[in-house]
Amino acid sequence: MGRSPLAQAVDNLAQQTFSLADADLDRKWDWLGYEEGVRFAFFRTCEQLNGLAASLAYQRSQTNPLSIAQHLLSDYHAAFRDLQAIILGISDQQAEQVPAEGQWPARTALLHTIQAERAFYGVTYYAIQRERSSGALPLELSDEDWEAMWPSDPFKQLKESGSFSQSMGYYDALHRRVIDDLADIRRDELSAPVVFWESENLPVSFRLGRFSSHMRQHTIQIEKTLADLGLAPGEVRRLLRLAYAALAKVEGAAIGEPGLGATECQVLAEEIDARTSEILQVVNG
Write the pLDDT tens digit of every residue in 167-204: 999 999 999 999 999 999 999 999 999 999 999 999 99
What residues contact residue 85 under an 8 Å CB cut-off, 6+ apart? 14, 237, 240, 241, 243, 244, 245
Write the pLDDT tens digit of every residue in 39-84: 999 999 999 999 999 999 999 999 999 999 999 999 999 999 999 9
User: Angle at the Cα of 181 (from 268 to 206), degrees rounded to 5?
Assistant: 100
* pLDDT computed for residue 239 by the predictor: 98
* pLDDT computed for residue 135 by the predictor: 84
pLDDT at 2 over 70: no
Percent of the chain with pLDDT strictly greater than 70: 99
Q: Under CATH, domain 5-284 is a member of which superfamily?
A: dinb family like domain (1.20.120.450)
Question: Residue 106 has what DSSP assignment?
Answer: H
Cα 7 to Cα 36, 70, 114, 250, 251: the distances in Å are 26, 19, 22, 10, 9
Q: 10 Å Cβ neighbour count for 223?
A: 19
* pLDDT computed for residue 285 by the predictor: 79
User: How would you label 100-111 residue by residue, b for 16+ Cβ within 10 Å and e otherwise?
Assistant: eeeebbbbbbbb
Give 1's pLDDT tier (boundaries 50, 70, 90). Answer: low
User: Which candidate, 271, 268, 275, places its Cα nearest to that of 54?
Assistant: 268
**pTM value?**
0.96
Contact 50, 248 (CB under 8 A): no
Choose the weakest-confidence range: 30-39, 135-144, 260-269: 30-39
Spell out the domain ranges in the chain: 5-284
Write the pLDDT tens digit of every residue in 123-150: 999 999 999 999 899 999 999 999 999 9
What residues contact residue 17 under an 8 Å CB cut-off, 6+ apart? 236, 240, 276, 279, 280
* pLDDT computed for residue 65 by the predictor: 97
C-alpha neighbours within 13 Å on the C-beta side of residue 172 = 11
Contact 247, 10 (CB under 8 A): yes
